[in-house]
Structure 1
Amino acid sequence: MQPRCLLLFPILLFPGMWAEPEDPFVFQSSISCKLQPNRTTRTFLGIAYEGQDLIWFHLNKGTWDRVSDNEMSANAERLLNNATTLNELIQVLLNVTCVDILERFIEYGKANLERQEPPTATVFARTAGPAQLLLVCRITGFYPRPISVAWLRDGHEVPPGPALNTSAVLPNADLTYQIYSVLTVPPRDGHSYACRVHHRSLGTRSLLIPWGKSNAGLIAGLAVALLAAVVVIGALWVRRYRKCH
């Protein structure tokens, strides 16, 4: 991570650096601080005039060095090297403050960077015509974004083609993601199908949802509902029978 900011102090420090500047004129300052994996830092502070590098700050020496060999660079180098208090403050800013800010960013962002939410997947069918059945695999609630979705026919992966269509990864309101994959098959073709999902939250495992499991659940639900209806009707009939006799 490399935060940058625009500094305005050089404009205030350079009066008399040039004779008659043309309006408008622009100074740019760039400051960066980068924290390496081995916990060392790389910093940079430079000043430019009208898009051309002018001087840069030597962190170890605490002094300014000219970039261009001209009168303006020489004047800037001389003026800023006389500002010893400012240069000491810049050393503290780059050596201490910037590193502390980066370490706080890392600490606060670690939970988000390491966050993992496993996906949930369902498979259902839609009729697209008398000779077409759409098998839809809906995967949602996963984080981070990268995910792999494939269809298996009799245990073998279905290759890309016009019958296979997978959507882009879409965001959810809870900052997780969702994706759809649709496979077009002939009705009652005699093959078994399954949707396979790979995601970082699953580790080395994969999520496998076979087509037919949803049908089994639907049939089981209908059977339970039918049984409940039979029980209710039977109870009402017995109650009415007893009331009549």
Structure 2
Amino acid sequence: MQPCCLLFFPFFFFFPGTWAELEAGSHMLQLRYFVTFQNATSMQVGGLGLVGDIRIGSLDSLTEDIHYYKTWLHSALPKDPFVFQSFKGCQLQPNGTTRTFFVIAYEGQDLIRFHLNKGTWDRVPDNEMSATAEHLLNNATTLNELIQVLLNVTCVDILEKFIEYGRADVERQEPPTATVFARKAGPAQLLLVCRITGFYPRPISVAWLRDGHEVPPGPALNTSAVLPNADLTYQVYSGLTVAPHDGHSYACRVRHRSLGTRSLLVPWGQSNAGLIAGLVVALLAAVVVIGALWVWRYRKRH
């Protein structure tokens, strides 16, 4: 994207009737953004920038490239790239209530946030850029009224339709599998690792139990962020640093929507014993195969 992407930033609309006639000697910048929905699977976007009634540039509806009509724009616009982002949508709670959100960010940091009930924008950091954006958008009353309707009505209606027709996908549940193993973390430390994978949906609760009691948060306990798998499920790791042979029993406890009221409990001792048993079985199978090959070669030679 071009460094001057702010020229066609899609949230700065100018609606008819929101601006009074210009006084003599005053100037106005207009940034217009258009979205045309051809059908349910395709759309075209376009934009137009004007200073007064002079067309200074446009956004190509096919390539989304910005075209400049005035050579002096290149000197007036910033030279360094920058990024604007937006995060907007709605959430339907199990009790039927809704939550909406609309946040605009700059360079990865929240800039302003829309307050649905008031229909206004609130700055997140208190700086010159957020103050300018807050002032500009709070003056666009027609735009803010439209955003209220889009978030509180249109978004919720669309979400309910998606849930109705896509219930099998939206309410899919995959139970987690968990394994516990140990790694040496130092001369007198052992790191117990609980790996949980293959679960859906994303929310999950992981805890360590010491002698049946939950280990409280602390420097010895560390749980990773939930990460996606290639098969549209999730995984997470949780580690607990302990002293070897400290005389305590440890277990990893997992709670997930797919398990209902049950918990998945993986004790460290049983996990270790299962690993050893698996290695023994594998070694015995290897011995049998090697013995069979030796007998076959021996008979072939004689």
User: TM-score band, normalised by the shorter chain?
Assistant: 0.5 to 0.7
Aligned counterparts, 1:162-201, within 5 A: 162-201=219-258
Residues 1:115 and 1:233: Cα distance change in structure 2 (over 3 Å):
closer
Q: Distance in 1 between matches of 2:139 and 2:283?
A: 82
CA contact (8 A) 1:166 1:180 kept: yes
Give the partner amino acid of 2:16. Answer: P
Q: Distance in 1 between matches of 2:251 and 2:287?
A: 35
Deviation at 1:173, TM superposition (A): 4.0
Q: Distance in 2 between matches of 1:123 and 1:233?
A: 32
Residues 1:20 and 1:227: Cα distance change in structure 2 (over 3 Å):
same
Number of corresponding residues: 195
SS of the equivalent of 2:173 reads coil
Q: Say if 2:201 is the partner of 1:144.
A: yes
Deviation at 1:126, TM superposition (A): 0.6
Identify which range, 207-216 or 232-241, moves more after superposition: 232-241
SS of the equivalent of 1:103 reads helix
Structure 1, residues 65-104: CA drift from partner, whole Å, max 9, x if none?
xxxxxxxxxxxxxxxxxxxxxxxxxxxxx8xxx9677534
Residues 1:217 and 1:10: Cα distance change in structure 2 (over 3 Å):
same
| Unpaired stretches in structure 2, ≥5 consecutive residues | 1-9, 33-89, 98-118, 120-135, 143-148
Aligned to 2:85: none
Identity %: 67
Q: Distance in 2 between matches of 1:216 and 1:170?
A: 28
Structure 1, residues 166-220: CA drift from partner, whole Å, max 9, x if none?
2233333444332211111222333221100112222211111111333223222
Structure 1, residues 133-162: CA drift from partner, whole Å, max 9, x if none?
111011223333332211112222122222
Structure 1, residues 40-60: CA drift from partner, whole Å, max 9, x if none?
xxxxx9xxxx7676987xxxx
Aligned to 1:119: 176
Aligned to 2:161: 107
Q: Distance in 1 between matches of 2:299 and 2:175?
A: 56
CA contact (8 A) 2:190 2:242 kept: yes
Larger relative contact order (CA 8 Å, sep ≥ 6):
1
| Unpaired stretches in structure 1, ≥5 consecutive residues | 29-33, 39-44, 57-93
Tell me the TM-score normalized by structure 1: 0.57
- Larger radius of gyration, structure 1 or 2? 1
Give the partner amino acid of 1:10. Answer: P
Tell me the TM-score normalized by structure 2: 0.48
In the alignment, which of 181, 188, 200 is matched to residue 131 of structure 1? 188
Aligned counterparts, 1:11-30, within 5 A: 20=24, 22-24=26-28
Residues 1:54 and 1:184: Cα distance change in structure 2 (over 3 Å):
closer
More helix by share: 1
Give the partner amino acid of 1:192. Answer: S
Identify which range, 152-161 or 104-113, moves more after superposition: 104-113
CA contact (8 A) 1:197 1:206 kept: yes
SS of the equivalent of 2:285 reads helix
Aligned to 1:10: 16
Identify which range, 197-206 or 168-177, moves more after superposition: 168-177
Q: Distance in 1 between matches of 2:297 and 2:186?
A: 48
